[in-house]
């Protein structure tokens, strides 16, 4: 359905510098804007390390790689575009500096900073009815509603040839940037053994920062296939497609699996559903411990458990995780 309010808009700039998951979560907005308004040209700015996420997106015209070193050159190019609308999904100091020098109507993503602070620090929950992040991104445009599809990632890569001989794969993404968002390593190893015992084959996924944890799992459970790479997200997505389901933490890899349309089983520890980063329009099961007074302790994660017990993750057993696989495959 075409949106009449966009008839006079010819070009839009979307700003979402980082991170992997956030950029993927912006793709429903990009797709819906373009498919309903074919005449509009949509450009985006992301950080260089996330460029591949949007490199082949057919709904985008110009895809800019942001870096502080090339700010002046980028500003010169952006000014030439004469954007009718600028959608600032990053809404931080850098994005505001950028938009201050570009003409065009500007709308910004509402981060709900106060609500998150109250939930983390006082457990006053004003986010009970808050929608998922893609919907909140769309709400930056008054009255705009998304289509019914999920996240997008378009990859030019093909699945690794040696993997095609076996289709009985389960993926595991054991890493995360933050300790409190990571299901314990020992639990992942136990889960691997349960899966192998039940005739599943295991693919490990991760980027540069996940190298150590993937190697540790491989060393302790040599039967797994370690596909961790140096942030080649397009190859990762291509290989994920071969999986029947993928285990992951609340991380960018979870959203990558959703974009690849693979069912996910996600471990949520220090973070909770109300923050909006749950799997979007993809078959999923979220495993979490709802019997703790201390959750959430952060909206992004911490490098240690503030209470020193880490029950939010430790009390999700490998057996429960294994049972969830049957549930998600039957759903």
Could you write out the DSSP letters of every residue in 168-235? Answer: -EEEEE---SSGGGS--HHHHHHHHHHHHHTT-EEEE---GGGHHHHHHHHHHSTTSEE---SS-HHH
Domain spans of the chain? Answer: 4-138, 161-330
The topology (CATH level 3) of 4-138 is Rossmann fold (3.40.50)
pLDDT of residue 137: 98
Quote the CA–CA distance of 284 and 101 in Å, as a whole number.
42
pLDDT of residue 4: 63
Contact 175, 212 (CB under 8 A): no
Burial of 84 (0-12, 13-18, 19+ CB in 10 A): middle
pLDDT of residue 25: 98
Contact 102, 155 (CB under 8 A): no
Is there a common fold for 4-138 and 161-330?
Answer: yes
Q: 161-330 is classed in which CATH architecture?
A: 3-Layer(aba) Sandwich (3.40)
pLDDT of residue 160: 93
Quote the CA–CA distance of 298 and 61 in Å, as a whole number.
37
User: Mean pLDDT, consecutive 10-residue segments, the chain of 331 residues?
Assistant: 75 97 98 96 96 97 87 86 96 93 94 97 96 98 96 95 87 96 98 98 97 98 98 98 97 98 98 98 98 96 96 98 98 86
Contact 11, 84 (CB under 8 A): yes
Residues in the chain: 331
pLDDT of residue 306: 96
Query: pTM for the complete prediction?
Result: 0.96
């Amino acid at each position: 359905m075409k949106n009449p309010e966009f008839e006079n808009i010819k070009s839009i700039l979307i700003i979402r510098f980082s991170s992997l998951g956030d950029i993927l979560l912006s793709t429903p907005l990009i797709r819906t804007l373009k498919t309903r308004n074919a005449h509009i040209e949509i450009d985006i700015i992301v950080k260089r390390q996330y460029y591949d996420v949007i490199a082949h997106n057919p709904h985008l015209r110009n895809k800019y790689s942001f870096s502080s070193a090339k700010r002046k050159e980028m500003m010169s190019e952006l000014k030439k575009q004469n954007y009718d609308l600028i959608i600032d999904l990053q809404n931080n100091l850098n994005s505001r500096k950028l938009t201050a020098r570009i003409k065009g109507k500007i709308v910004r993503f509402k981060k709900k900073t106060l609500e998150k602070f109250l939930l983390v620090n006082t457990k006053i929950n004003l986010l009970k009815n808050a929608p998922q992040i893609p919907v909140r991104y769309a709400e930056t445009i008054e009255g705009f509603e998304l289509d019914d599809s999920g996240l997008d990632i378009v990859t030019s890569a093909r699945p690794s040839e040696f993997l095609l001989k076996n289709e009985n794969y389960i993926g595991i993404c054991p890493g995360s940037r933050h300790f409190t968002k990571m299901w314990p390593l020992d639990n992942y190893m136990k889960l691997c053994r349960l899966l192998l015992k039940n005739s599943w084959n295991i693919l490990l996924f991760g980027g540069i920062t996940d190298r150590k944890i993937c190697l540790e799992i491989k060393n302790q459970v040599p039967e797994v296939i370690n596909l961790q790479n140096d942030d080649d997200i397009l190859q990762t997505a291509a290989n994920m497609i071969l999986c029947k389901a993928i285990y992951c933490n609340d991380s960018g890899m979870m959203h990558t699996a959703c974009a690849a349309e693979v069912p996910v089983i996600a471990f949520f520890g220090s973070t909770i559903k109300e923050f909006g980063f749950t799997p979007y329009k993809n078959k999923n099961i979220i495993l979490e411990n709802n019997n703790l007074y201390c959750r959430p302790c952060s909206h992004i994660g911490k490098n240690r458990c503030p209470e020193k017990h880490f029950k939010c993750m430790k009390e999700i057993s490998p057996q429960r995780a294994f049972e969830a696989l049957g549930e998600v495959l039957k759903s």
